[in-house]
Amino acid sequence: MVYYLIICRSLTYAQRTAAVLERVGITAHILRAPRAIAGEGCSHGVRISPRRLAEALTVLGRAGLTPRRVFLLAGDGSYQEVRL
């Protein structure tokens, strides 16, 4: 399954990010970020559907929660960073 992962600097930011998205009806799950993309080690991310990325970024921007980095993750474990 392909999904976007919004990387957050802390668990609390990830929770706030997920709460803001859920409030507007965008399903958001908090995950530990894969080691390969958790730059500084141990970070959390928010998983959203590929169809909702643009909307999610708009909502987060409005809430002052502009993501640091976003990755596209594929079902085979490969990933690529999305240019924001």
Partner 1 sequence: MIYFDSAATTLQKPAAVAQAGVRAIRTCASPGRGGHRPAMLAADVAYRCRELAGALLGVSEPERVVFTMNATHGLNIAIQSLVKPGDVVVTSGWEHNAVTRPLHALGAQVRVAAGPMFDQTAALAAFDALLTPETACAVCTQCSNVFGMVLPVAGVARLCRERGIPLIVDAAQSAGVLSVDLDAWGADYVAMPGHKGLYGPQGTGLLLCGRNAAPRPILQGGTGSASMDQDMPRFLPDALEAGTHNITGVAGLLEGLRYVVRKGPDAILNHERKLLALAHSGLSQMPGVEVFAASAPEDQAGVLSFRVHGMDCEEVGQWLGDHGVAVRAGLHCAPQAHASGGTLDTGTVRLSFSAFNTLGEVERFLDLAERMCRRK
- Using the rule CB under 8 A, give the single segment among 20-28, 42-50, 51-59, 70-78 that binds partner 1: 42-50
- Using the rule CB under 8 A, give the single segment among 14-22, 46-54, 70-78 that binds partner 1: 14-22
Q: Is residue 17 classed as helix, strand or coil in its secondary structure? A: helix
Q: Which residues are CB-neighbours of 41 under 8 A, at least 6 positions away?
A: 35
Binding flag, residue 24, partner 1 (CB under 8 A)? no
Work out the burial of residue 38: count CB atoms within 10 Å of its CB; fewer than 13 is exposed, 13-18 middle, 19 or more buried: middle
Among residues 3, 16, 69, 72, the one that binds partner 1 under rule CB under 8 A? 16
Using only C-alpha atoms, the chain has a radius of gyration, in whole angstroms, of 12
Among residues 7, 21, 43, 73, the one that binds partner 1 under rule CB under 8 A? 43
Closer residue to partner 1, CB minimum distance, 9 or 51: 9
